[in-house]
Structure 1
Amino acid sequence: MSNKTKAVFCMLISALGFTFMSVTVKYVTGIPLFEKVFFRNLISLGVAFFMLKKSSTPMFGRRENQLALLARSSFGLAGVVLNFYAIANLTLADSSMLGKLSPIFVTIMACIFLKEKIDSKQILSIIITFLGALLVIKPEFSLEMLPSLAGIMSAAASGVAYTLLRYLKDKESPDTIIFYFSLISVIFTAPFALAEYVQPTFIQLGLLLATGVFASVGQFGITYAYKYAKATEVSIYNYSAIVFGIILGFIFFGEIPDTLSLLGGAIIIAVAFYIFKHNQKK
């Protein structure tokens, strides 16, 4: 396969992996949030450690990249925690749609921190995308908005993390980046997980372990996708997660998105496709 074909395949596998992770997170009830996040990253840590040993890649990266690796891991962890909260309290389709706002934040952060130029068409697209997100959220001044706000904040945190990932892609191995992120996540979530630990049943334990496996598939998929090709060539395929979310939400939970959510999701995908083609021309 060509590098671009590999990148597209990795991105689709990543989207499917993260969507199945969302299914297991939503399916496991009675387990505290940080315990779910801990198991998710514990499995990823084991997989990343195996990959590092297999390739003889340095575990902690270069000295000059430590601040960027720590920042990428911190924002990535914040994104995961907020995303898990949103998944547990929204329909699978809505949480997937809000999660796909992260490329918009990548564009904004890359403009601010990586000094990438942003034109008027991109600015207009960002505004329209947020209008699409409002159709998904359906704002109201009540506590019921918290999961939707968590979804947006998760996308923002992930956007910063992916911007740092782009900064690190030619400086560190994908295996090192994932290992570093997983290690930081396990260390920081362990005290919270232990403080409110609930002994999982055999089925719950299996689902928690599956969460980590699917997250690893998603994480390695997207990391290698951006290694094999530029974001302008493959980023659009990440939006397949919205379609996967609608299908799997209906299969596992009997969820059917309302008309406004479907319209908002269609706007988000349409604008993403427009920006994808626009960036290719640039």
Structure 2
Amino acid sequence: MKIKDKYKGIFYIILAAFGFAFMNLFVKLAGDLPAIEKSFFRNLVAVFFAFTVMKKEKIPFNIPKGTGKYIFFRSLFGTIGIFANFYAIGKLYIADASMLNKLSPFFAIIFSYFLLKEKIKLYQFACVLTAFVGALFILRPGFDSVATFPAFIGLLGGMGAGLAYTNVRMATKLGARGPLIVFCFSVFSCVCAIPFIIFDHQPLTWWQLVSLLMAGLSATLGQFSITAAYTYAPASELSVYDYTQIVFAALLGMIFLGEVPDVISILGYLIICGAGIAMFLIRRKKEKDQTG
């Protein structure tokens, strides 16, 4: 891998983190709307962008043989993940919600063991365990019942994302293209949201509509940037930079919402980020040792 490509990958992964942090901000700014209604508009924007990319790159809309179930489960668990994440954003500080969602790589390791039969190395197990200890500082079970339930839902959002990413890996290995997966997931999420919107629709003010459309645009920036990042460098070289989203989310929360995380939450952030960074550094060292 060329050094120049690596730096391009780092730039795009940080840009993706920036996009997703703004998505969380705009979801929060949309106010007191049902989380599913918020996710509908976010995914509706993604549908049009993914459709445009597929047309431009002449990617067929037919699902490659053998990938159907993986694309379905990616869409199902991704939808559960985004519904849960948007609910958590509405109830918690956006930095807390973002941090819980960043547990998805640790869940992906666990699910890869059960679903893909990939072995969990000792250092991975230690990092996963450490990350969940950090999550307890944000969940605070038994100490703050008002925050505990939304935080638990946010944790489920990270679990859903982890399951979704595990199925993305299987689908792409079998030949499914990224834009097709994004398109299927976005359409699936919109369709799932429609019944809830019909029975629990709340009229949007012009500001809420603008906020949700901006959330969709920010999420699209994040999705396409993260796709670009992994075309320049492998996940093993980039994953640690994805935690910059927490920094962006915390700054945006302080500047626009007056949200200042307390010491206990910040300690949780440091533990989880530390576990992610440690896993990244150990894995990179082992890869260098193997290649000599």
Question: 1:9 Cα shift?
Answer: 2.0
* Contact kept? 1:39, 1:208, Cα under 8 Å: yes
Find the partner of 1:131 among 109, 130, 133: 133
Instruction: Give the partner amino acid of 1:169.
Output: T
Report the CA distance between 1:147 and its aligned residue. 0.4
Is 1:217 aligned with 2:221? yes
1:21 to 20, 23, 28: 23
Which shows bigger deviation, 19-28 or 165-174?
Answer: 165-174
* Secondary structure, aligned partner of 2:142: coil
Pairs within 5 Å for 1:197-212: 197-212=201-216
Q: Distance in 2 between matches of 1:93 and 1:272?
A: 17
The code of the aligned residue for 1:43 comes to: V
1:173 aligned to 2:177? yes
1:104 to 103, 106, 110: 106
Identify the residue that residue 163 of structure 1 maps to in structure 2: 166
Alignment match, 1:272: 276
Which structure 2 residues correspond to residues 171-250 of structure 1 after superposition, within 5 A?
Answer: 171-250=175-254
Deviations 1:230-278 (A, max 9, x none): 2211111111111111101101111111111111111111111110011
1:153 matched to which residue of 2?
Answer: 156
Aligned match of 1:75: 77
1:200-253, CA deviations, whole angstroms, 9 ceiling, x for partnerless residues?
A: 122211111111111111222223333433221111111111111110110111
Aligned-partner residue type, residue 200 of structure 1: L
Offset at residue 10 of structure 1 (A) = 2.1
Alpha-carbon distance change, 30 to 136 in structure 1, aligned in 2, over 3 angstroms: closer
Give identity over the alignment, percent.
40
- In structure 2, the CA distance between the partners of 1:165 and 1:227, relative to structure 1 (3 Å rule), is farther
Return the offset for 1:143.
5.5
Q: 218-227 or 8-17: which moved more?
A: 218-227
CA distance in 2 between partners of 1:216 and 1:182 (Å): 11
Paired residue type of 2:236: T
2:289 aligned partner: none
Letter in 2 for 1:19: A
1:23–1:248 CA contact under 8 A, matched in 2: yes
Q: For structure 1, which runs of at least 5 residues remain unmatched after alignment?
A: none
1:70 Cα deviation after fit: 0.7
CA distance in 2 between partners of 1:115 and 1:278 (Å): 21
Contact 1:60 1:180 in 2 (8 A): no
What RMSD in Å do the two structures reach over aligned CA positions? 1.6
Structure 1 equivalent of residue 60 of structure 2: 58
Whether 1:92 and 2:90 are equivalent positions in the alignment is no
Q: CA deviation at 1:110?
A: 1.7
Match of 1:5 in 2: 7
Unaligned runs of 5+ in 2: 287-292
Task: Give the total of aligned pairs.
Answer: 282
TM-score where L is the length of structure 2: 0.92
CA shift digits 1:35-89 (9 cap, x unpaired):
1111010000000000011011012421321111111011101000000000000
2-structure distance, mates of 1:269, 1:100: 9
1:114, CA displacement in angstroms?
Answer: 2.1
Which one-letter code corresponds to 2:256 in the other structure? F
Bigger shift: residues 75-84 or 21-30: 21-30
**Within 1, Cα distance between the matches of 2:62 and 2:281?**
37
Q: CA deviation at 1:5?
A: 2.7
